[in-house]
Amino acid sequence: MAFLSRLLAARAPAREAFPSFSDGPPVSAVRRPHVLVVDDETLIADSVAAILNRNGYDAVARYSGLAAIEYLEKKRPDIVVTDVMLPDLDGVHVALTVRKVLPQTRVVLFSGHVSTTQLLELNSAAANSFELLSKPVHPAQLLKALQPAD
């Protein structure tokens, strides 16, 4: 476990993802995008958060839909990455809540389940389209997906 906690704790320098500019504010002053990672598989939630923290994000992991909602009310994450299948509230519900209370926040869903596609089709019909990544997502792929669209 010591190895695991060392892995999760290690952080890469922020400049890898967000290179600083000499005429800009100091590195420490650049606000790292705040990410909420939600997955009932704690290993996944933690490892994704760790990867993001190592790549210039400020990520926090939560392990249930309710915990995620609770967190949303206190903090205002820039990005929410959530699994679709959660034991209490499903990820789509979380995503819809985010869309309602934090319209500026990006929502990325990821799932290993078949029915997700259908669930999303329903939502896109309601003009609530979300980004979707299917599990397993390679970290490189995830980082690429989270980069700003421009």
Partner 1 sequence: MHKLYMGNRQKAPGQQFITPSSHSVQFYEDPEVFLEQLAGFAGAAVGAGGCYLVLATAEHRCSLQQRLARRAIDLRMAAAGNRFIALDAREVLTTFMVEGWPNRERFFASLEPQLLRARSARLRPDAPLSAFGEMVALLWEDGHREAAVHLEQLWNELLGRHSFSLLCAYPIACFAHDSRDDLFARVCREHTEVMPTEGYTALQSDAERLRLVSTLQQEAAVVRAVVEERERAIAQRRHAEEKLWRSEEFVRRIIESGVDCVMILDPQGRLEYISPSGQQALEISNLSNFLGRSWVEFWKDEDRPRVEAALAAARAGGIGSFQGDCSTPQGTRKFWDERITPVRGNDGQVEQLIAVARDLTELRQAQQIAVQAEKLAAAGRMAATIAHEINNPLEAVTNFIYLARTTPDMPEEAARHLEVADRELTRVAQIAQKTLGFYRDTSKDKWLHVRELVEDVLLIYERKMRNKQITAEVSVDPELRIYFKQGELRQVLSNLLVNAIDACASGGRIWLRAHASTDWSEGGEDGVRFTIADNGAGMSPEVQKRIFVPFFTTKANVGTGIGLWVSKSLLEQHGGSLRFRSRQGSPSGTVMSFFVPGNANLQVHELPRSA
**80: its two tokens:** 């929410």
Among 18-26, 66-74, 100-108, 131-139, the segment contacting partner 1 (CB under 8 A): 131-139
The single residue listed with the structure tokens 């980069």 is: 147
Provide the 3-class DSSP secondary structure of residue 118: helix
**Between 48 and 89, whose beta carbon lies closer to partner 1?**
48
Q: What's the CA gap between 143 and 17, in Å, rounded? A: 9
Dihedral, 61, 67, 73, 78 alpha carbons, nearest 10: 30
Strands 34-38 and 106-111: unpaired
* Nearest residue (CB) to partner 1, 35 versus 48: 48
Q: Is 76 in the site for partner 1 (CB under 8 A)?
A: no
Identify the DSSP state of 28.
G
Q: Which residues inside 84-103 make contact with partner 1, applying CB under 8 A?
A: none
Q: Smaller CB distance to partner 1: residue 10 or 27?
A: 10
Exactly one of 31, 74, 138, 144 binds partner 1 (CB under 8 A); which one? 138
Least separation in angstroms between residue 65's CB and partner 1 is 17
CB of 75 to partner 1, least distance (A): 23
